[in-house]
């Protein structure tokens, strides 16, 4: 799909139009409405006599003079109740309507979607991102219908073309595309997306973007470095573990020899059966997406490199498959991590935190200015928050605020949860230093987070438990499957991290 920025005056006289307005009055003043001929305007005015203009109302109209041409009208509801989440939904709804009607293109008006306190450039970037997110499908493994999949070729956005706006549009396209590429990886079934394949994705990015260096550590090196957690979790599978390290450094960051990089760590469990503590039929469903954090890190770094942000950032993805077998790790095993701390395995299904312990421990050697890990870590956080935002934890309160702001700005929503020291008592090991599970059924998301905290040292750190937002949900106007959580968040953090 091509998304372009056009001038008010250069709207094609045959283009399908998207007109969104709060009221009839605003509709009549709408520049795209005013671009129509008098007879077409008169026709629409009468056709819309009963239109309600609530944010649920929409309609597709044919112009009698040009039957091929479609005019899509959307209500935006009350003006003082308009907000960003509605804006995201409206844009995605437009895309889904275009697809449902098999329209190859349309012209939209950027000003329809403006939000108070959001700049035109940011708005345009968000429009582009959400167009792309709504356009994404995962159809590679399905037979094509006779008339093909619906395909939108061109969306023109009316604005006042300028260098800044064009740049914002280009940025939005990079970010939206990276999020979709992340969704693609997460959607790939577990049999196809193995640790090796995930590593290959990172390697491919390193090959196409010069500023990205990729280094993949294999089993032998992982063992040699003392990452007993990664080795332990992976040993039940015939798929060997991979420890993926990506580094992007801008020319400027290289010159300034930035010593304290930004670090992203992503959980890369390519399939989580639960191991010997095997999951149930319901629990195992969709566990091929348990590498979503890793996929988000891979494609966030790709986007950051394409945006040429003036920073140094390192992505670390421990990639394993969690399988039960004659060689798998056992409940009760004591695994020695790279930090020297041992983990007492009480449950082989709490595997994410074990591999992340090694990854976070490894990350410390870079003396990071900030570490952020993304992981589909617990089912408990979905119970706590529902499926509209990720859980956010941090070892500094200012990072909770920062994280929530970033979430609100990007639409990659997060919500803060507590991390008091008192919780540490619940994960004290009996025979090892830290237990990977606790005795009660309460606060599982916090327990996962407090476990990770044992492995970050004193470096500033945020943990996003992205289980809630692993998949899309009904009503979001997004294809079923992976949601690509975390990509937009990480890119926005990087933009503010000069």
- Which long-range contacts (C-beta less than 8 Å, at least 24 apart) are formed by 202-206? 202/244, 202/246, 202/298, 202/315, 202/317, 205/246, 205/298, 205/301, 205/302, 205/305, 206/246
Q: Which is nearer to ligand BES, 229 or 368 (CB)?
A: 229
Site for ligand BES, residues 414 to 453, rule: CB under 6 A:
437, 444
CB of 440 to ligand BES, least distance (A): 11
Binds 339: which of Zn ion, Mn ion, ligand BES, none (CB < 5-8 Å by kind): none
Binding segment (CB under 5 A) for Mn ion, from list 53-61, 127-135, 243-251, 347-355: 347-355
Q: Which is nearer to Mn ion, 368 or 444 (CB)?
A: 444
Residue of closest CB approach to Mn ion: 349
- Which long-range contacts (C-beta less than 8 Å, at least 24 apart) are formed by 23-27? 23/53, 23/79, 24/48, 24/51, 24/53, 27/53, 27/73
Q: Which is nearer to Zn ion, 155 or 355 (CB)?
A: 355
Binds 161: which of ligand BES, Mn ion, Zn ion, none (CB < 5-8 Å by kind): none
Residue 68 corresponds to which tokens in the numbers above?
A: 């091929």
126-149 exposure pattern, b = at least 16 Cβ within 10 A, e = fewer: bbbbbbbbbbbbbeeeeeeeeeee
Measured at the CA of 149, the angle between CA 145 and CA 154, to 5 degrees, comes to: 160
The kind and range of the H/E element at 19 are: strand 17-21
Site for ligand BES, residues 114 to 143, rule: CB under 6 A:
none
CB of 456 to Mn ion, least distance (A): 21
Half-sphere exposure of 200 (CA within 13 A, CB side): 7
Binding segment (CB under 5 A) for Mn ion, from list 95-103, 351-359, 412-420, 449-457: 351-359
Looking at residue 455, what DSSP letter applies? Answer: T
Catalytic positions:
279, 353
Per rule CB under 6 A, is residue 321 in the interface with ligand BES?
no
Can you tell me which of 125, 273, 337, 378 binds ligand BES, judged by CB under 6 A? 378
Q: Which is nearer to Zn ion, 294 or 484 (CB)?
A: 294
Report the greatest alpha carbon distance in the chain: 83
Q: How far apart are CA 352 and CA 374, in angstroms?
A: 10
Per rule CB under 5 A, is residue 349 in the interface with Mn ion?
yes
Per rule CB under 5 A, is residue 242 in the interface with Mn ion?
no
Per rule CB under 5 A, is residue 290 in the interface with Zn ion?
yes
Q: Which is nearer to Mn ion, 351 or 465 (CB)?
A: 351
Can you tell me which of 242, 247, 272, 321 binds Zn ion, judged by CB under 5 A? 272
Binding segment (CB under 6 A) for ligand BES, from list 15-23, 58-66, 298-306, 348-356: 348-356
CB of 405 to ligand BES, least distance (A): 25
| Sheet of 434-435, strands arranged across | 334-336, 342-344, 434-435
Locate the DSSP E strands across 130-211: 154-159
311-342 exposure pattern, b = at least 16 Cβ within 10 A, e = fewer: bbbbbbbbbbbbbbeeebbeeebebbbbbebb
Per rule CB under 6 A, is residue 290 in the interface with ligand BES?
yes
Residue 160 corresponds to which tokens in the numbers above?
A: 């006042």
Residue found by looking up tokens 């039929």 in the block: 281
Site for Zn ion, residues 336 to 365, rule: CB under 5 A:
352
Q: How far apart are CA 402 and CA 263, in angstroms?
A: 16
Residue 138 corresponds to which tokens in the numbers above?
A: 């995962």
Per rule CB under 6 A, is residue 379 in the interface with ligand BES?
yes
DSSP for 191-251 reads: TTS-HHHHHHHHHHHHHH-TTEEEEEE-HHHHHHTT-HHHHHHHTTSSSPPEEEEEEEE-H
CB 415 within 8 A of CB 390: yes
Binding segment (CB under 6 A) for ligand BES, from list 17-25, 100-108, 373-381, 489-497: 373-381
Q: Mask: binding to Mn ion, 253-272, rule CB under 5 A, as x and -?
A: -------------------x
Per rule CB under 5 A, is residue 112 in the interface with Mn ion?
no
Can you tell me which of 169, 470, 483, 493 binds ligand BES, judged by CB under 6 A? 470
Per rule CB under 6 A, is residue 492 in the interface with ligand BES?
no
Per rule CB under 5 A, is residue 135 in the interface with Mn ion?
no
Residues 6+ apart with CB under 8 A from 80: none
Q: How far is CA 254 from the centre of its chain?
A: 28
CB of 425 to Mn ion, least distance (A): 23
Per rule CB under 6 A, is residue 351 in the interface with ligand BES?
yes
Site for ligand BES, residues 146 to 185, rule: CB under 6 A:
none
**Which residues of the chain form contacts with Zn ion (CB under 5 A)?**
269, 272, 290, 352
Residues that bind Mn ion (CB under 5 A): 272, 349, 351
Residues making contact with ligand BES (CB under 6 A) = 272, 290, 347, 349-352, 376, 378-380, 437, 444, 467, 470
């Amino acid at each position: 799909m091509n998304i372009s920025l056009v001038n008010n005056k250069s709207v094609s006289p045959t283009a399908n139009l998207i007109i969104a307005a709060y009221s009839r009055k605003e509709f009549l003043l709408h520049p795209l409405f005013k671009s129509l001929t008098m007879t077409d305007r008169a026709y629409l005015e009468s056709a819309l006599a009963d239109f309600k203009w609530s944010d649920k109302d929409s309609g597709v109209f044919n112009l009698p003079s040009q039957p091929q041409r479609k005019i899509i009208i959307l209500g935006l509801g009350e003006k003082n109740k308009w907000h960003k989440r509605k804006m995201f939904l409206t844009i995605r709804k437009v895309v889904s309507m275009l697809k449902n009607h098999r329209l190859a293109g349309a012209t939209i008006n950027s000003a329809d979607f403006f939000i108070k306190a959001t700049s035109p450039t940011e708005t345009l970037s968000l429009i582009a991102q959400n167009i792309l997110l709504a356009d994404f499908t995962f159809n590679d493994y399905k037979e094509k219908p006779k008339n093909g999949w619906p395909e939108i070729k061109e969306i023109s956005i009316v604005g006042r073309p300028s260098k800044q706006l064009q740049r914002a549009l280009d940025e939005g396209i990079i970010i939206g595309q990276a999020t979709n590429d992340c969704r693609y990886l997460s959607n790939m079934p577990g049999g196809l997306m193995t640790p090796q394949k995930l590593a290959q994705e990172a390697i491919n990015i390193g090959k196409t973007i010069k500023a990205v260096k990729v280094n993949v550590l294999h089993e032998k090196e992982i063992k040699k470095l003392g990452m007993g957690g990664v080795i332990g979790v992976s040993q039940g599978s015939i798929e060997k573990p991979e420890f993926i390290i990506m580094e992007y450094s801008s020319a400027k960051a290289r010159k300034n020899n930035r010593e304290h990089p930004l670090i992203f760590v992503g959980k890369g469990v390519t399939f989580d059966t639960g191991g010997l503590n095997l999951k149930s039929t319901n629990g195992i469903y969709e566990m091929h997406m348990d590498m979503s954090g890793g996929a988000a890190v891979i494609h966030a770094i790709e986007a950051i490199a394409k945006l040429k942000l003036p920073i140094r950032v390192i992505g670390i993805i421990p990639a394993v498959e969690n399988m039960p077998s004659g060689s798998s790790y056992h409940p009760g095993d004591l695994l020695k991590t790279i930090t020297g701390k041992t983990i007492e395995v009480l449950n082989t299904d709490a595997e994410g935190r074990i591999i992340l312990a090694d990854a976070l421990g490894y990350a410390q050697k870079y003396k990071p200015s900030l570490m952020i890990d993304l992981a589909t870590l617990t089912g408990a956080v979905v119970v706590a928050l529902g499926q509209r935002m990720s859980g956010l934890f941090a070892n500094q309160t200012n990072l909770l605020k920062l994280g929530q702001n970033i979430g609100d700005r990007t639409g990659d929503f997060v919500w803060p949860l507590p991390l008091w020291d008192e919780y540490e008592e619940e994960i004290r090991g009996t025979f090892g230093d830290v237990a990977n599970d606790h005795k009660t059924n309460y606060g599982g998301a916090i327990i996962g987070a407090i476990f990770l905290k044992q492995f970050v040292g004193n470096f500033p750190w945020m943990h996003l438990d992205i289980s809630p937002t692993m998949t899309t949900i009904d009503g979001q106007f997004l294809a079923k499957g992976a949601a690509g959580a975390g990509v937009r968040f990480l890119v926005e953090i990087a933009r503010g991290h000069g």
